[in-house]
Amino acid sequence: MTEKKAGSGIKVGIVGGTGYTGVELLRLLAQHPDCELAAITSRKEAGMAVAEMFPNLRGHVDLKFSEPSASGLDQCDLVFFATPNGVAMQEARALVDAGVRIIDLAADFRIRDVALWEQWYKMKHACPELVAEAVYALPEINRDEIRKARVVANPGCYPTAVQLGFLPLIEAGCVDLAHLIADAKSGVSGAGRKAETHILHAEAADNFKAYGVAGHRHHPEISQGLARAAGKAVNLVFVPHLTPMIRGIHATLYARLTREVDLQALYEKRYADEAFVDVMPAGSHPDTRSVRGANHCRIAVHRPQGGDTVVVLSVIDNLVKGAAGQAVQNMNLMFGFAENTGLNQVALLP
């Protein structure tokens, strides 16, 4: 497959453009100088103008939603799947065979162990052969693999914040891998654009709760990534929480030091060349609004009372660096564009 040259432009399709990650993709791609939005599919909304559903895109996206069968996705250079789990695996094979490259924002290709994936996602995998080929695309760890990939598994939102927070410690081999703790909180948009009781305003507002303590589907994904960095298995306790905000993930991470290390220098060196990871000054406490609408992860590292416990604070926008923004970052790598193309939005305040 011949890669596009930077500046030559590519045709892009989106499957499932009616959810929160779909509209976030549209917002970012509409501002991307090297992308032509060719198709946005939705069986339910076929024929409706995108801007009718999402008025923020008026004057930026002129397409209508189309039926997948009539969308011409096989004529695109790249197709994003902004769909529920289990959809991309049904359609990926035909598109890959047609020479189309794929970025799946759901979980169909994230977990290498297909049996483990089936255990957590409660369905039979439709194309395990593509799981073996797919690249788990966290750019900060495997750019070279992403550049060559035909099938990209875009990381989940919790896994992005947690892995970026833990990676310097694990790569340096300075913490106890048997006792890693991730205490993470997400805004309600992480649950998707659907009607469910627990994310109704009257249920989620003025409220705060943990969920999935016994087991969450992002746990095997995070553990897989950390084990890859460590070169061996890790033991992770992961507890997610729902917070009464729309966007944002805040991960508070705990690990026990096994040797002395300059933590601030370790993090600054590891992410010195990363455009989308900001290691904040010592003593900082990053907040979620500092990344709202932007493709950034902001990190601060602490050592309370000078003890042997490291506390890492990692924040992202779950819809941007945790989903659509990271997908565009991966697209840029795949097609030889500058990695920050279309991703220079400044976070929104207040």
Quick count: other Cβ atoms within 10 Å of Cβ 329?
29
Per DSSP (E only), the strands in 5-144 are 10-15, 35-41, 78-81, 101-104, 135-136
- Same domain membership, residue 306 and residue 167: yes
- Same domain membership, residue 148 and residue 75: yes
- Same domain membership, residue 184 and residue 65: no
pLDDT value at residue 99:
97
- Same domain membership, residue 254 and residue 149: no
- Same domain membership, residue 195 and residue 144: no
- Same domain membership, residue 86 and residue 149: yes
Which amino acid is residue 34, in one-letter code?
A: D
Active site residue 157: yes
- Same domain membership, residue 172 and residue 24: no
pLDDT value at residue 7:
46
Q: Considering the domain boundaries, does residue 347 fall inside one? A: no
How far is it, in rounded angstroms, from Cα 263 to Cα 286? Answer: 17
pLDDT value at residue 197:
77
pLDDT in tens, 81-129: 999 999 999 999 999 999 999 999 999 999 999 999 999 999 999 999 9
pLDDT value at residue 2:
39
Q: Considering the domain boundaries, does residue 342 fall inside one? A: no
pLDDT value at residue 186:
96
How far is it, in rounded angstroms, from Cα 100 to Cα 104? Answer: 13
Range of the domain at 208: 158-318
Residue 208 gets which letter from DSSP? -
Q: Considering the domain boundaries, does residue 340 fall inside one? A: no
Q: Considering the domain boundaries, does residue 341 fall inside one? A: no
* Low pLDDT (below 50) residues in the chain: 1-7
How far is it, in rounded angstroms, from Cα 84 to Cα 32? Answer: 25
How far is it, in rounded angstroms, from Cα 240 to Cα 64? Answer: 37
CATH number at residue 23: 3.40.50.720
- Same domain membership, residue 179 and residue 40: no
- Same domain membership, residue 169 and residue 147: no
How far is it, in rounded angstroms, from Cα 226 to Cα 184? Answer: 16
CATH number at residue 212: 3.30.360.10
- Same domain membership, residue 51 and residue 106: yes
Q: Considering the domain boundaries, does residue 260 fall inside one? A: yes
Which amino acid is residue 239, in one-letter code?
A: V
Structural contact between residues 310 and 169, judged by C-beta atoms closer than 8 angstroms: yes
How far is it, in rounded angstroms, from Cα 12 to Cα 103? Answer: 11
Q: Considering the domain boundaries, does residue 1 fall inside one? A: no
- Same domain membership, residue 174 and residue 150: no
Q: Considering the domain boundaries, does residue 349 fall inside one? A: no
pTM of the predicted model over 0.85: yes
Cis peptide before 220 (omega within 30 of 0): no
Q: Considering the domain boundaries, does residue 18 fall inside one? A: yes
- Same domain membership, residue 303 and residue 167: yes
Active-site entry in 35, 76, 127, 157: 157
Structurally, the chain folds into a number of domains equal to 2
